Structure 1
Amino acid sequence: MPPRPGPEARDTGTGNSSGQGREPAPSDVSRGAGRRRARPSAGGRSADVGPYGVEDHADDALAVLDALGINAVHVAGGSIGGAIAIALAARAPARVRGIAMFGSALSLGLTTDAIEDMATDVHAAGVREFFRRQARTVIAPRSAPWIADHLVDLAEGPPRSPRDPGLVAAVLRDGLATDVSHHVDRVRCPVLVGVGDHDPTCPPTEAARLAEAFHVEPVILPDTGHLPMLERPELVSKHLRSHFAAVAGGHGRGHRSVFRRC
């Protein structure tokens, strides 16, 4: 299939560490020179899997673009999805026209022990109970209660094939250890940084640090927590349309060739 001439919008997912966008296939998945394999647990579900780092997600995204013959894209991502967008833009600058991130950070600054404690808790409590405890704390006080319930359902997976705690723990370990600071200088496209004013995971202070790295001002979303795509979809859509329209018109904010060393 010949490459499509125009850019398309691609969403890297909410990246909320539940792994909902990235359940491994039964067969091997090509990844550069190597291959990723999911090994079934005693119950027949994926257990010892991975890796699930940002670079691996970026590898997957590039493989999908190549397979579909898509030449250029706009990328939008939430939470770790924003870090994946940065890695993708840094590694394939000619193919990424613009990126938009919501509730994202360069890194979370968590210790190895803190991350391991969370992974252990997933095994001890189970996927549903672990995310049930977290769900209400990551959305804004005024957000609809169904959003927390929906997050739990997404994290657990379909009723007939719930996600194995080993899978979710693996995603947590790799995702929470993310640090994309080293990619910043290689991003050449316009950048949008959005954050909820009630985001406890990647708060406005982290968004400000992320935005500063790209020489832009963060967009603060009112009455919004860590899941703006669910809490305020109309506002997210508004900012996405505005940002990518500006990119298409050559007026995108934070274009590296314009702002980097002025």
Structure 2
Amino acid sequence: MRYAKSADGARIAYSAGGAGEPLLLLAGQGNTHHWWDGVLDDFRAAHRTITLDYRGTGDSDRPDEPYSTEGFAEDAIAVLDDLGVERAHVYGTSMGGRVAQWLAARRPDRVRALVLGCTSPGGPNAVDRGDDVRRSLARPAPEGRRRALLELMYTPGWLATHPGPYRTLGDPTMTPKERLRHLVASERHDAWDALPGIQAPTLVVHGDDDLLNPTANAALLAERVPGARLCLIPGARHAYFEESRSVAGPLVLDFLREHERA
């Protein structure tokens, strides 16, 4: 891991590998760069691929203050600056897709092509998860909460043949306060008014059986971002990028290839 220094002095841990046009991968809420471990090699075969630990996770600093998706986007810019990367493709999933929205909307000079995966515009215009999903994630027993999250991430068939380790269930080193800060940052995200200003070519990807972040949000994003392309992956849940790797990986790579620097 290497370290970039954000505008407020926080150290942001990151890793870069592979060759080709830069690609920044942004993980989900409360997760580190390990979110991408199961598919990272697919991207590093074609791109100089950059992953990071959000502040409050992994090897990054954990300042005792509120977090926001806008702030996470500024931390990502600090990583690109530390690497000397002027412009990168950006692929964000779940909360990482929310962070990616701010990157593309506020720093269009830094984003070549944008992929928004299993994410939402946030705010009152978004489609919220159902009360049954919220109740399942609030079960009193930790094992019950873990099982509920696993079943929202993956299909039963995949879970039956993949006993783990699972990389998408959150950073186990986080304190309850740090997990809450990530949750609040994601819940308070609202980029609705900024989305029409996104200039980067955009692909929106979502599993059509995603209840954690309802699939209807994909259509909202695709309608709101000018010229965005929408692709739903049949039968896939929230972690479509891992379970449906053979479909999602080539889909994203083909899109990025269309928008390589001439």
What is the TM-score normalised by the length of structure 2? Answer: 0.70
2: CA distance, partners of 1:136 / 1:27: 28
Choose the corresponding residue for 1:63, options 78, 84, 99: 78
Quickly say closer, same or farther: Cα 1:208–1:64, change in 2 above 3 A: same
| Equivalent residue letter for 2:73 | A
Tell me the residue number matched to 1:10. 24
**Uncovered stretches (5+) of structure 1, i.e. residues with no partner:** 1-5, 30-36, 39-48, 251-262
Deviation at residue 97 of structure 1 after TM alignment: 0.3
1:22 equivalent in alignment to 2:54: yes
Choose the corresponding residue for 2:182, options 171, 175, 178: 171
Tell me the residue number matched to 1:191. 202
SS where residue 178 of structure 2 aligns?
helix
1: CA distance, partners of 2:167 / 2:115: 25
SS where residue 89 of structure 1 aligns?
helix
1:245 equivalent in alignment to 2:257: yes
Tell me the residue number matched to 2:110. 95
Tell me the residue number matched to 1:51. 66
SS where residue 238 of structure 1 aligns?
helix
Deviation at residue 108 of structure 1 after TM alignment: 6.2
Deviation at residue 101 of structure 1 after TM alignment: 1.3
2: CA distance, partners of 1:105 / 1:26: 24
- The percent identity for this pair of structures is 24
2: CA distance, partners of 1:25 / 1:142: 30
| Equivalent residue letter for 1:96 | V
1:176-210 deviation per Cα after TM superposition (whole angstroms, max 9, x unaligned): 22211122132111000011011112233111111
Kindly report the root-mean-square deviation, in angstroms, between the aligned alpha carbons of the 2 structures: 3.2
1:202 equivalent in alignment to 2:213: yes
Deviation at residue 28 of structure 1 after TM alignment: 9.2
Choose the corresponding residue for 2:153, options 125, 138, 148: 138
SS where residue 213 of structure 2 aligns?
coil
SS where residue 194 of structure 2 aligns?
helix
Tell me the residue number matched to 1:44. none
1:227 equivalent in alignment to 2:259: no
Deviation at residue 227 of structure 1 after TM alignment: 0.6
2: CA distance, partners of 1:9 / 1:220: 22
Task: Determine which structure has more spread, i.e. the larger CA radius of gyration.
Answer: 1
SS where residue 229 of structure 1 aligns?
helix
Deviation at residue 50 of structure 1 after TM alignment: 4.1
What is the TM-score normalised by the length of structure 1? Answer: 0.70
1:70-103 deviation per Cα after TM superposition (whole angstroms, max 9, x unaligned): 1110000111111111100112111100111111
2: CA distance, partners of 1:219 / 1:28: 33
Higher mean displacement: 162-171 or 72-81: 162-171
Q: Which has the higher helix share?
A: 1
| Equivalent residue letter for 1:9 | L
1: CA distance, partners of 2:169 / 2:241: 14
Asked whether the equivalents of residues 195 and 224 of structure 2 are also in contact (C-alpha less than 8 Å), the reply is yes
**Uncovered stretches (5+) of structure 2, i.e. residues with no partner:** 1-19, 33-52
> How many aligned positions are there?
215
1: CA distance, partners of 2:232 / 2:60: 41
| Equivalent residue letter for 1:55 | E
